[in-house]
């Protein structure tokens, strides 16, 4: 077992990993920026080292500083968390060069999955169901038009090295192709240093379903079933749940086998996620995230598998503690991402000092947080305050429990998106489980949230009061009546 691990990240994910280390008797090393000197994860760590100013480019993205701290402290492994350098193959290579265990997948798998073209080509060869399209870079405009005609419009242009929704553009017809291809190639070059672009069929309004996989260095690889991540804004996930309402048991097992096949094709070990699009009973492999995901807690809640613990064990050269037949999902889990953002300002990030902070509690509730009362949320990083996770015996009870937890959650001093989650939990389409990636714009969810916040503000109330709940209900009822008229 590794004796000392450096966590090259911050916030709630740094604490999550440290907790797993603590249970395994592993000493933890935190690296932090000037902006995070009073952060909870810094207080939690056994050892801590300042690595620079607030901006990530001067601290958390400084590979040389992080490696230097690891060598100085004798850390045998580095856990990258998610974001920052979690999927940076060059950082993993740097760790290996310095004799440090990168707690993640092998460099070869990271490089393969880092290129959407190479990964698509490999998956097609292995027999994984992929989105119809071509697995080759397209630069010639006439060739692009020929391929689009063959696939059938609309199509998607995608940057091979893209991520986070960057470098993606829908093309509805041939007239749009020339400008779109040039735009995406330029964006890809400027954002990723690689202007390779490929074409695939546009799947309208799919459901976004991902499978958690984890493997060891001895050839054992399993999946821990799916997570539904279709509630998204600008390609960013906001709410996740498991199991998905869309899958039959037969499809659930079949897609799980495809996820394992995809991971094995990549020569994968450690934790990762295979992402699929699902539409009208058909599923398509989209990509693989070579890291632990933000939404991993809901998988832990229904399977009992501690994914961070397994990551550390795998990195230590141990075999997985589980076989596929040991994984038996139970109940239903939902995760809401609680962000510091202003609904009245187009949901822009809203950093600042937290004046009051009280987390919900009780049976089936978990809060992964990196903040506390009096903490100042820095403006340099992701706006996430916490992840609120609930578990219950079935989906209706999980929704009821989440509503209760949101009602209990108290945050003041910074604007936040709890009203958004309250609106969604009460929305009839969400309650029925009939939603897809177009859910937020189709039902004008953000506009409803704005109305709720305005009513709360007018009543001088907070999201936990009865008046606030009445505001949510009144907006939901009005929106439902409006949608019925449209239908």
Backbone angles phi, psi at 463, to 5 degrees: -60, -10
Which tops the pLDDT comparison, 193 or 357? 357
Q: Beta strand 207-215 with 221-233: parallel, antiparallel or unpaired?
A: antiparallel
Least confident span in 259-263, 332-336, 449-453: 449-453
pLDDT tens digits, 424-456:
999 999 999 999 999 999 999 999 999 989 888
Measuring CA to CA, which residue among 131, 134, 170 is closest to residue 283? Answer: 131
185 included as an active-site residue: no
Q: Average pLDDT of 177-190? A: 94
pLDDT tens digits, 84-135:
999 999 999 999 999 999 999 999 999 998 888 899 999 999 999 999 998 8
Measuring CA to CA, which residue among 132, 123, 126 is closest to residue 156? Answer: 132
pLDDT band at 379 (very low <50, low <70, confident <90, very high): very high
Which tops the pLDDT comparison, 475 or 38? 38
Q: What is the DSSP track for 145-209?
A: HHHHHHH-SSEEEEEEEEETTEEEEEE-SHHHHHHHHHHHHHHHHHHHS---EEEEE---S-EEE
The active-site residue out of 291, 337, 395, 415 is 291
> Hey, what domains does the chain have and what are their CATH numbers?
4-103 (3.40.50.20), 132-201 (3.30.1490.20), 207-417 (3.30.470.20)
pLDDT band at 11 (very low <50, low <70, confident <90, very high): very high
Which tops the pLDDT comparison, 486 or 100? 100
Q: What is the pLDDT of residue 462?
A: 67
Q: Average pLDDT of 55-74? A: 98
Q: What is the pLDDT of residue 459?
A: 75
Mean pLDDT, the chain, rounded, equals 94
Q: What is the pLDDT of residue 145?
A: 95
Is-contact 276 285, C-beta < 8 A? yes
**Whether residue 163 has pLDDT greater than 80:** no
């Amino acid at each position: 077992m590794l004796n000392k691990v450096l966590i090259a990240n911050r916030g709630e994910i740094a604490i999550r990993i440290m907790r797993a280390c603590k249970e395994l008797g592993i000493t933890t090393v935190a690296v932090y920026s000037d902006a995070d000197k009073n952060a909870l994860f810094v207080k939690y760590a056994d050892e801590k080292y300042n690595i620079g100013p607030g901006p990530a480019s001067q601290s958390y993205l400084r590979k040389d500083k992080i490696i230097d701290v690891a060598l100085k402290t004798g850390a045998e492994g580095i856990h990258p968390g998610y974001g920052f350098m979690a999927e940076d193959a060059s950082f993993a290579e740097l760790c290996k060069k310095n004799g440090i265990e990168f707690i993640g997948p092998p460099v070869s798998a990271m490089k393969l999955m880092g290129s959407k073209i190479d990964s698509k080509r490999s998956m097609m060869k292995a027999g994984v169901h992929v989105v119809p399209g071509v697995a080759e870079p397209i630069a010639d405009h006439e060739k692009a038009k020929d391929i689009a005609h063959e696939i059938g419009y609309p199509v998607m242009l995608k940057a091979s090295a893209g991520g986070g929704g960057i470098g993606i553009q829908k093309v509805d017809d041939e007239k749009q192709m020339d400008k779109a291809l040039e735009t995406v190639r330029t964006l890809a070059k400027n954002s990723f240093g690689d202007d390779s672009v490929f074409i695939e069929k546009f799947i309208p309004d799919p459901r976004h379903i991902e499978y958690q996989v984890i493997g060891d260095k001895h050839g054992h690889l399993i999946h821990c079933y799916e997570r539904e991540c279709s509630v998204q804004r600008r390609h960013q996930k906001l709410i996740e749940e498991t199991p998905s309402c869309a899958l039959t048991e037969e499809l659930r097992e079949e897609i799980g086998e495809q996820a394992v096949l995809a991971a094995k094709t990549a020569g994968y070990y450690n934790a990762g996620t295979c992402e699929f699009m699902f539409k009208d009973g058909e599923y398509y492999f989209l990509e693989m995230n070579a890291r632990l995901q933000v939404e991993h807690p809901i998988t832990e809640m229904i399977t009992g598998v501690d994914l961070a613990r397994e990551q550390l064990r795998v990195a230590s050269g141990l075999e997985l503690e589980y076989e596929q037949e040991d994984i038996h999902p139970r109940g239903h889990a939902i995760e809401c991402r609680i962000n510091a953002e202003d609904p009245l300002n187009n949901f822009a990030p809203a950093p600042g000092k937290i004046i009051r902070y009280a987390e919900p509690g009780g049976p089936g509730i978990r809060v992964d947080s990196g903040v506390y009362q009096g903490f100042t949320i820095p403006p340099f990083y992701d706006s996430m305050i916490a992840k609120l996770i609930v578990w219950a015996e079935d989906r209706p009870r999980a929704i009821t429990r989440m509503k209760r937890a949101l009602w209990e959650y108290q945050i003041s001093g910074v604007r936040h998106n709890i009203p958004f989650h309250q609106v969604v939990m009460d929305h009839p389409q969400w309650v029925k489980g009939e939603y897809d990636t177009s859910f937020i714009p189709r039902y004008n969810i953000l506009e409803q949230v704005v109305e709720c916040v305005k009513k709360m503000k007018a009543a001088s109330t907070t999201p936990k009061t009865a008046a606030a709940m009445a505001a949510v209900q009144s907006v939901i009822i009005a929106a439902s009546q409006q949608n019925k008229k449209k239908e």
